[in-house]
A and B are shown apart, each in its own frame.
Chain A
Amino acid sequence: MTDVHIIGAGIHPFGRHDEMSGLDQGVFAVRQALADAGLAWEDIQFAFGGSAAAGNADAALPRLGLTGVQFINIANGCATGGSALLSGYWAVKSGEFDIGVVLGFDKHPRGAFNADPEASGLPRWYGQVGMMLTTQFFANKITRYMDLHGITPRSLGLVAEKAYQNGALAPHAWRRTPVDFETIMSSQMLSDPLTKFMFCSPAEGGAALILASDRKMRELGLKGPKIRGAAVRTRGEGSFEVFAPSLNITRGPSPTQTASKAAYEMAQLEPKDVDVAQLQDTESGAEIMHMAENGFCADGEQEQWLAEGATKLGGRLPVNTDGGCLACGEPIGASGLRQVYENVQQLRGRAEDRQVEAARIGYSQVYGAPGLSGVVILEA
């Protein structure tokens, strides 16, 4: 079976764009990815794409060209972008196709995501009494983690401080002004222990990647990072997920832990091999927990890592070099592909002021509702 490479990458800056639809931003990203590779839409043999709140991705076709290309819409919660990438990976890996595009875009209303008990298979009372909020889930998860593993609120603040520092260096980020530690810690408490600046916001944006077989890439005279591992995993019986009126008394691994393990095995790599990582940071605590869930440190070691600046640019393992969800916001359909886009920039040495020196292995992990995680490992 062939290796699969990412030979082109495009992104529409994340943030708020009143004059553009989600679809506009997705089309923008695809055109940029095509231009990046010097290709035309007519060269594309397949596409997988998705958005959570901005319509069907294949609505991009009349704009990109009605070439009759195989286009499959992807809807997989917060891993929609990651699932599009995984589908494209298989399409090329299997030998069925040589070259295709994966895209994701979104445009969410301001404020917290809407929650519908019925759509999640939950009774009405659960929402009525005020328990159906994603923010509560993240706060509950990090509260317990902090108690078990000795993580302090200071570490939550350091994660957010780093995010806004990195976002200031990334042209595609939404929040491009550093926010100082004191402001983060003293901003409005939303759900203890998490303050306003420790949470990401729903946003808008689009991202697209062009995948090609090894042979096709050489034929076109192009280069690009190789996908070494890719996996999506859903929640197990004992994992703690959003909107859970009860939890199994017997605790088990998270979908991030299982997806991570699968991706490392596929890549035949270990956490210590990774040079740069993009980890789901819906809020500061998520990045901290995901550092351990993805195998980069033991539970509790994050406290020291963050105090030492180990995950900052220039640190032992730079994490969320474009500011992650905290600085970019979270347009669900595009978010996982934004992470991979950032790793592609890093591995091609195009990350400018946020470049991780000699980055060779890039790791990304997207996680979210209803309890699934997608991991991609790239090699320069």
Chain B
Amino acid sequence: MGETPIAEGLFEVVDGAPRLIGGRRKRDGITVFPMPAGPEGRLYDPVRLSAEGTLWSFTVQRFRPKSPPYAGADDEASFRPFAIGYVELPGEVIVESRLEVDDFAALRVGLPMRLALAPFALAGGETVTSYVFRPAA
């Protein structure tokens, strides 16, 4: 696995397990992901989000997204469809994520999911680390 994260401040590893870093707005306690950067970030406190949640919604990306902004190392021929969706972290926030599943047909609203880190190969040749959610079972 590439050691370089796809972006700074997106996730961290705590006691060997990955956690996403969100932001809790000081004004009203609303939690967002990712933690806002720059001047806007001063209005938020960083918060480690729960690594487990339930699938809120999902879809399967069946065609290769346009580059830019997509930066995967694949091309039209080698592209493989991938699942993406939203995972509800109870009491915190609903986060969007790529989903890793063996069988797209297994996806259903309410499915227990757990955060993991996964390599992501960039078009430039570098492989970085990004986050995904996988079925918890």
- A residues engaging B (CB < 8 A)? 111-112, 114-117, 123-133, 136, 139-141, 143-144, 147-148, 188-193, 237, 244-249
Contact = CB atoms under 8 A, between A and B. Distances in A.
Interface in B59-96: 59-63, 65-66, 68-72, 82, 84-86, 88-89, 91-96
Interface of B: 6-7, 10, 22, 30-34, 37, 56-63, 65-66, 68-72, 82, 84-86, 88-89, 91-96, 98, 104, 108-109, 120, 122, 130
Contacts of A147: 57, 108-109
Contact of A128 (B59, B60, B108, B122): B122
7 contacts: A123-B34, A128-B71, A128-B120, A128-B122, A129-B72, A245-B96, A248-B30
Contacts of A190: 62-63
Given A130-B72, A131-B84, A248-B30, A191 B94 contact: no
B58 A129 contact: no
A191 B85 CA distance: 11
A144 B57 contact: yes
Contacts of A245: 33-34, 95-96
A244 B65 CA distance: 17
Contacts of A117: 69
A191 B57 contact: no
B96 A237 contact: no
Nearest to B89: A249
Contacts of B93: 246-249
Contacts of A124: 7, 69
Given A123-B37, A128-B122, A133 B96 contact: no
Contacts of B91: 249
A25 B1 CA distance: 53
B66 A247 contact: no
Nearest to A141: B57
Nearest to B97: A131
Nearest to B70: A130
B98 A130 contact: yes
Q: Which 9 A-B pairs have the closest CB atoms?
A: A127-B69, A139-B59, A144-B57, A246-B33, A128-B71, A247-B94, A147-B109, A125-B7, A140-B57
Contact of A111 (B31, B34, B66, B109): B66
Most buried by A among B33, B63, B88, B89: B63
B59 A191 contact: yes
B3 to A, nearest CB: 16
A143 B30 CA distance: 25
Contacts of B6: 125, 128-129
Most buried by B among A111, A143, A148: A143
A115 B85 contact: no
Contact of A144 (B34, B56, B65): B56
Contacts of B57: 140-141, 143-144, 147
A189 B94 contact: no
Contact of A192 (B22, B32, B59): B59
Contacts of A115: 66, 69
A132 B84 CA distance: 11
A121 B28 CA distance: 21
B66 A112 contact: yes
Nearest to A112: B66
A249 B122 CA distance: 32
A230 B32 CA distance: 33
Nearest to B109: A147
Contacts of A126: 69
Contacts of A249: 31, 88-89, 91-94
A143 B68 contact: no
Nearest to A243: B96
Contacts of A127: 68-71
A202 to B, nearest CB: 12
A117 B96 CA distance: 15
A116 B69 CA distance: 7
Nearest to B28: A237
A232 B32 CA distance: 26
Nearest to A118: B69
Given A128-B71, A249-B92, A249-B93, A136 B59 contact: yes
Given A125-B7, A131-B96, A133-B65, A143 B71 contact: no
